[in-house]
Amino acid sequence: MADFEYESNSDSEWDDSWDTLWSEHDWEAYLANESDEVQRYQRLYNKLAQHPNRLDEIALRMGWDLQVDPKDSDSSEPPQDALPELPYTLHKHPLFIASKALHGWMTEKWSQRVALCTDRVKPIFALEVQNTITQSDQYGLLGVTALDLGDYTLAVAYFKRGLQQLNKLLAQLNGIEAKNAAPLEAYGVHAKIRIFDLREIWLRVMSDCRDAASGRFEEE
């Protein structure tokens, strides 16, 4: 769906994904590599934060937009070696990677900034902000799961709940401005950029989900 479209497992046999003799060690190595993809997205986002079309450019550099010739991009990322055929897991989904990367940044930086301003932030407020980020992250993951299973209307319902949490987080960040603490104000500026990008990503996917669901109902 847009740059976040991915060939999910909704129309294939789940058993085929797990027809493997991988050991526990093999899966640990696989999951470690998937964490690297989230970190790679974070690095690209930080590098392209001021790019007017950063979401599309990052998707291109991550190798998600296969309709565009990579040499047409000004990417400075080293080429990725071809990987052998791997089992399908949700960690491969571009929407999962983008959502985990952006939420992960907000969680990590929030704890760092709060630690610098313990005299300005009550523990209960710090916990409330973190809980909002966690709830948004959870709904994003549930939305990707529903999307992967081909239930587009359920995906929309989850993303709508995620958007509610993002709006709540924006309101909480606006309250930070009154605390007159430079670390918190800096966090608010950069966190809002990521919040609006998450909203943009989810709204794109929701629009495509509604189109897909409408087409399915018309066929029936």
138-159 pLDDT per residue, tens? 999 999 999 989 999 999 999 9
Query: Does the pLDDT at position 24 exceed 60?
Result: yes
Q: So what's the pLDDT on residue 12? A: 47
What distance in Å separates the CA atoms of residue 87 and residue 144, rounded to the nearest whole number?
Answer: 18
Q: So what's the pLDDT on residue 76? A: 47
Higher pLDDT, 185 or 71: 185
Indicate if the alpha-carbon torsion angle 67, 72, 77, 79 is positive or negative. positive
Q: Are 108 and 187 in contact (CB under 8 A)?
A: no
Q: Are 94 and 64 in contact (CB under 8 A)?
A: yes
Give residue 204's pLDDT band: very low, low, confident or very high (50, 70, 90).
very high
Q: What is the mean pLDDT of residues 123-141?
A: 96
- pLDDT over 70 for what percent of the chain? 79
**183-188: long-range contacts at Cβ-Cβ below 8 A with a sequence spacing of 24 or more?**
183/113, 183/116, 183/117, 184/113, 184/114, 184/117, 184/120, 184/121, 186/113, 187/109, 187/110, 187/113
What distance in Å separates the CA atoms of residue 3 and residue 111, rounded to the nearest whole number?
Answer: 31
Query: Does the pLDDT at position 214 exceed 90?
Result: no
Query: Does the pLDDT at position 42 exceed 60?
Result: yes
Of 192, 209, 81, which is closest to residue 143 (Cα–Cα)?
Answer: 209
pTM of the model: 0.80
Q: What is the mean pLDDT of residues 89-100?
A: 91
Amino acid at position 117, single letter: C
Kindly compute the dihedral angle of the four CA atoms of residues 34, 36, 40, 45, in this order, to the nearest 10 degrees: 80
